[in-house]
Structure 1
Amino acid sequence: MIETFVRFAQRSPAWAQVKAIVPKPVWVVYFMYSPDGILTAAHRFTLARLKDSGLPLLVVCACADPQRIPADLRGVCDALLWKALSGYDFSAYTRALHQISRHSPGADVIVINDSVFGPFTDLRPVLANSPWALTGFTASSQLTNHIQSYAFCLRQVDRMRMTRLAPVFFPALAFSEPQAVIALQETRLARVAARSMKVGALWFGAAEQVLDPTLVLPTELLDAGFPFLKRSLLAKHQSFIERDMVLERLGRLGHPVDL
């Protein structure tokens, strides 16, 4: 792990505040990767659903420079940060959570990245009913027991919380190599958090039975109230389920299928 850290650590990517964060009791953080400055149909669906929830929305947009942020993005979010393209999703999470800890201390936060379609169900009950300070939507024992980081909820985000999570949300460093992010951040998040807070997940997949619940049982999860569908089921993980089944379910859920 030390070798991975030394080999792949880099300075945190450049960033800028485009629309200021103000004090709110709850924030939804949505990280979207848009190198060409174009909002996809999936981005627009997610943004609309999050806006319809009535929860304050902070978007972290990764694109080549702040001038390429989609022009209509400012109107659909309550706060907006630009991030340079390097650093992977944890660099966006780190920047958003640290900024919330400074400008909206004590807020409960739902964090989502654009590797998922959705949400297809209301996210507010997760915050209202979860007994944990850190709540994963799914967890897996693949590699080690861990919360899957495409989406999670974190309560009471303040400076002390972020200090205790600094071994995962590195304040000044980031990683652009996916395997480094998995080894040093995603698979360590729950373990580091458990030192100072209660941690749990809504759905768990034991790797010896279900390699990854979001890939192996995507429609079963949706039927059980799971709010997301992984985008990779139409790309690098399309071998897990027939493409037509994914598109059919998206259409049934009202999601654009011209992807």
Structure 2
Amino acid sequence: MKSFVKKLLGHRPSPTTQVGIDALKPNWTFHPSRPDGITAAVRLTTLRGLSSAPASTAIVPITARPRWISYFVYLPTGGALTSAHRFTLAQLRKAEAGLCVICAAPTPDDIPPELRGMVDALYWKAPPGFDFSAYAIAVREVAQHSPGADLLVLNDSVFGPFVPVDTLWSKMQWSLTGFTASAQLQNHIQSYAFFLKQVDHRTVRALRSVLFAHFSFDDYRGAVYGQESRFASVAARSMSVGALWYADGITCGDPSVFAALPLLEAGFPFLKRSLLSKNAHFFDRAELITALKTRGHPIDSV
């Protein structure tokens, strides 16, 4: 009984050892899998955590372009950008695409002033709602003001990108492409970064049960069970979906963690920040710092 309760509360066992690149499947086309009964039950309990969507406003709106990048910056107490933020922004700025930042901060006045000179579009969002509330804004705004544009989305839970962004476009072969995908809970793409082709009102309509217009989850479990783990299956009803790398859940649970350095050595563009905090026990810190330094990333804020 105790084990069942732990599972119901989200404490689910999964493979947690480091793996090599050969444990993952490259260029994986999404196929749906049914969540087990525990996942379905936990998903239902998270509905109690739904709240109103956080307030937001356009400071510099999106305009018509063939391609956009949306970067979500989370500054829940305000303050300055970190050197990691500046590195990411500088890398994204080099791409042949408009750069939009959606910044979560207490008020619009708490957005770092330097951001205005670094981006082509800028939005404020109140801190609640996790990254999916920012993604919903990005998709809706591109659909309204730049219909038909391709959209690369990422959040500041990752370091990088460590490869030129323009080399990534040709790898995005599906209408919705994730960088990594996992079989945990059910087959799904991981939401720290993904790519959408030709975003328009049909995209908004297709994803409205995941990218909510009027609601949000303000707890981690709700965002994972109610949005991230459902994102690919919802999208697959009306578009092609896949990922650059997939972990089947047998040899690896989360490829962005357990195969992090092998992926990086293979030319993967991102490294999860959590490897230096809550997931620091999976890799040697000195090895991670060296990987960042050799790729030109500042280490004063890591």
TM category, shorter: over 0.9
Structure 2: gaps spanning 5 or more residues:
1-42
Instruction: Give the aligned partner of residue 67 of structure 1.
Output: 109
> Does 2:55 match 1:14?
yes
Cα separation, 2, equivalents of 1:146 and 1:102:
27
Structure 1: gaps spanning 5 or more residues:
none
Cα separation, 1, equivalents of 2:94 and 2:286:
28
Cα separation, 1, equivalents of 2:147 and 2:45:
35
Q: 2:275 aligns with which of 196, 209, 233?
A: 233
Cα separation, 2, equivalents of 1:242 and 1:207:
23
Q: 1:52 aligns with which of 94, 108, 133?
A: 94
Instruction: Give the aligned partner of residue 93 of structure 1.
Output: 135
SS in 2 for 1:239: coil
How far has the Cα of 1:20 moved from its partner?
A: 1.5
TM-score scaled to structure 2, two decimals? 0.84
In structure 2, relative to structure 1, the CA distance for the partners of 1:180 and 1:249 (3 Å cut) is same
How far has the Cα of 1:129 moved from its partner?
A: 3.7
Q: 2:66 aligns with which of 6, 22, 25?
A: 25
Cα separation, 1, equivalents of 2:162 and 2:169:
16
> Does 2:183 match 1:141?
yes
Cα separation, 1, equivalents of 2:44 and 2:179:
29
SS in 2 for 1:10: strand
Structure 2 counterpart of 1:218, one-letter code:
A
Sequence identity of aligned pairs in percent? 48
Larger Rg: 2
Larger relative contact order (C-alpha < 8 A, sep ≥ 6)? 2
Q: 1:106 aligns with which of 138, 142, 148?
A: 148
Q: How many residues align?
A: 258
SS in 2 for 1:171: coil
Where do 4+ consecutive residues of structure 1 move more than 3 Å? none
Structural mapping, 1:94-243, within 5 Å = 94-243=136-285
Cα separation, 1, equivalents of 2:169 and 2:299:
30
Contact (CA 8 Å) 2:71, 2:100: kept in 1 or not? yes
Structure 2 counterpart of 1:25, one-letter code:
P
Cα separation, 1, equivalents of 2:169 and 2:140:
20
TM-score scaled to structure 1, two decimals? 0.97
Cα separation, 1, equivalents of 2:201 and 2:149:
11
